[in-house]
Chain A
């Protein structure tokens, strides 16, 4: 029989929340990087390959 989950202490809960916040922030930063990449590609347009080497 599974034991009931132990109650998290305040410090553990705080750590868990900070970890979630850090992951969320990392995702936001990753998304921003992707956004700038996509924006750059779209702004340059297909003519980017059409140039003198």
Chain B
């Protein structure tokens, strides 16, 4: 028998969710980027790791990220229901009950941390636990609704995966994984503020203090430009510290110049429609940029090992 449940304003049918709905709670698109960056950290780390252990480590990092995503959806169901981008998520659309999302988030988080600790080491597991805590509690429950700097500080949660991947192999954290962390950390503000610029109506309706809603478009565009320049400068660091060679640096220069050009183009835009279009272009480009430079790190390393670079 179908039972309708009232979960704090969200009507859902008990037991009526599909497998796909539970999977959607894990934010698979975010998970794919987390898997990719963690994999890069794992591959760049000195020394080897058993392929089975490596695969389990990546799986644990992915499931841990998914668990924190489910906890985020559990807590943010009220504001997700207001924004067009998140309206169709499993909880606001009534396909999954809030309690189910909380249970899934906690189970995924606990299992991923425990298995990562058993398979690799407890430093990596501790970093994963801290990442989940940082995203679910510090970012989702506290920063997101209270400060326009929410995604600057909260960006740390998304920046940890390569460090976890590295720690899973070596059991320590050195300058190189901190540099990888820094690149993603500095990439987050321009990425999210570009999104916030063309979705600011959504964030305003949900009462989230995103930078464009609080400080205005001009201040946001200036901050995007500032972070873009700092990000591109930081992206050269792997070359300086010997983590990569000229191939990576060449890719970082070329794609970094593109990033600054798009940020500058957004900065000088005046008319609203053109500004939103440019913000969207920068948002899309930023995804390819991060993918590109991390891929370049690996290609550079493989090329170096084979003697081509």
Contact = CB atoms under 8 A, between A and B. Distances in A.
Interface string B6-33: 0000000101111100100000000000
A21 B53 CA distance: 29
B16 A38 contact: no
B1 interface: yes
B115 A20 contact: no
B118 A39 contact: yes
Nearest to A27: B19
Interface string A14-32: 1001101100100000000
Interface residues of B, number: 17
B52 interface: yes
Contacts of A21: 15, 17-19, 22
Contacts of B59: 35
Contacts of B13: 14
A6 to B, nearest CB: 19
Interface residues of A, number: 13
A42 B50 contact: yes
Given A10-B2, A14-B2, A20 B19 contact: yes
Given A14-B15, A17-B16, A20-B18, A39 B52 contact: yes
B17 A35 contact: no
Nearest to A16: B18
Contact of A35 (B16, B19, B56): B56
A11 B18 contact: no
Given A39-B52, A39-B119, A17 B17 contact: yes
The 8 nearest A-B residue pairs measured at CB: A24-B19, A42-B52, A14-B2, A42-B50, A18-B15, A38-B52, A17-B18, A39-B119
A35 B115 CA distance: 10
B8 to A, nearest CB: 23
B61 to A, nearest CB: 14
A14 B16 contact: yes
Contacts of A14: 2, 13, 15-16
Interface in A1-53: 10-11, 14, 17-18, 20-21, 24, 35, 38-39, 42-43
B105 to A, nearest CB: 15
A11 B1 CA distance: 6
Nearest to A35: B56
29 contacts: A10-B2, A14-B13, A14-B15, A14-B16, A17-B15, A17-B16, A17-B17, A17-B18, A18-B15, A20-B18, A21-B15, A21-B17, A21-B18, A21-B19, A21-B22, A24-B19, A24-B22, A35-B56, A35-B59, A35-B115, A38-B52, A38-B56, A39-B52, A39-B53, A39-B56, A39-B118, A42-B50, A42-B53, A43-B119
Contacts of B17: 17, 21
Interface in B34-61: 50, 52-53, 56, 59
A21 B16 CA distance: 10
